Amino acid sequence: RKEVEQDPGPFNVPEGATVAFNCTYSNSASQSFFWYRQDCRKEPKLLMSVYSSGNEDGRFTAQLNRASQYISLLIRDSKLSDSATYLCVVMYSSASKIIFGSGTRLSIRP
Amino acid sequence: NAGVTQTPKFRVLKTGQSMTLLCAQDMNHEYMYWYRQDPGMGLRLIHYSVGEGTTAKGEVPDGYNVSRLKKQNFLLGLESAAPSQTSVYFCASGRGYQETQYFGPGTRLLVL
């Protein structure tokens, strides 16, 4: 079993829809969590950090559920420009252990 | 302010050849990382550095060496390239651990 798992998708949703996807992690020692966005053939870019209390940035909401060991990303009022692959990242206490999920592909159609 | 840059953008090697990938950042970041990304897999950490003159192994260090002689540069070396090292290599930097990582545009490496 992978240490960090994501549904690869693709999620194909119409513009304006709300879409959510999860990322599960297996090691309860995980300390920090992030969502990165990666466009096709480009580098990953930070979308948002995930805080224990949950956090929101415009149309994006990230939540952490430590009891069930998953993080989630909710995108409201999706735009065509949201089409990308979303990577979850789990960090532990040591810099040698940074685990990226393999990503969830999102495609927004007009 | 260029952020993180990587050289070269694309390279083709024959098995057994060597090469060095260069990463440079102009944000005065202490932490620098080298990752590889393969289809269907997440980015995997090869080596990282927590400051000038330091390096440490990540998840998949075998077949690679690194050096951080200057704070702004992080070099990744392949001494004897193998087809299994065909991948996209990303460099990243950050102010500290568990902080935002800023990625370079990547180097696509094909080993024949």
Set of chain A residues whose Cβ sits within 8 Å of the Cβ of B30: none
The pLDDT score that the predictor gives to residue B42 is: 87
Set of chain A residues whose Cβ sits within 8 Å of the Cβ of B101: 44, 46
Dump pLDDT digits (tens) for A23-63.
Answer: 999 988 878 999 999 999 999 999 999 988 889 999 999 99
Calpha distance A102→A45 (Å, rounded) = 15
Cα B42 to Cα A2, A16, B38, B59, B77: the distances in Å are: 10, 29, 7, 12, 21
Q: Mark yes or no for CB contact A95/B31 under 8 Å.
A: yes
The pLDDT score that the predictor gives to residue B94 is: 95
Contact between residue A75 and residue A58 where contact means Cβ atoms under 8 Å apart: no
Q: Mark yes or no for CB contact A43/B105 under 8 Å.
A: yes
Say yes or no to pLDDT of A94 above 90. no
Set of chain A residues whose Cβ sits within 8 Å of the Cβ of B59: 96-97
B43 lies within 8 A of chain A by CB:
yes
At a CB cut-off of 8 Å and minimum separation 6, what does B60 contact? B36, B44, B45, B46
pLDDT band per the 50, 70, 90 thresholds, residue A71: very high
**Reduced to 3 DSSP states, what percent helix, strand and coil does chain A have, rounded to the nearest 5?**
5, 55, 45
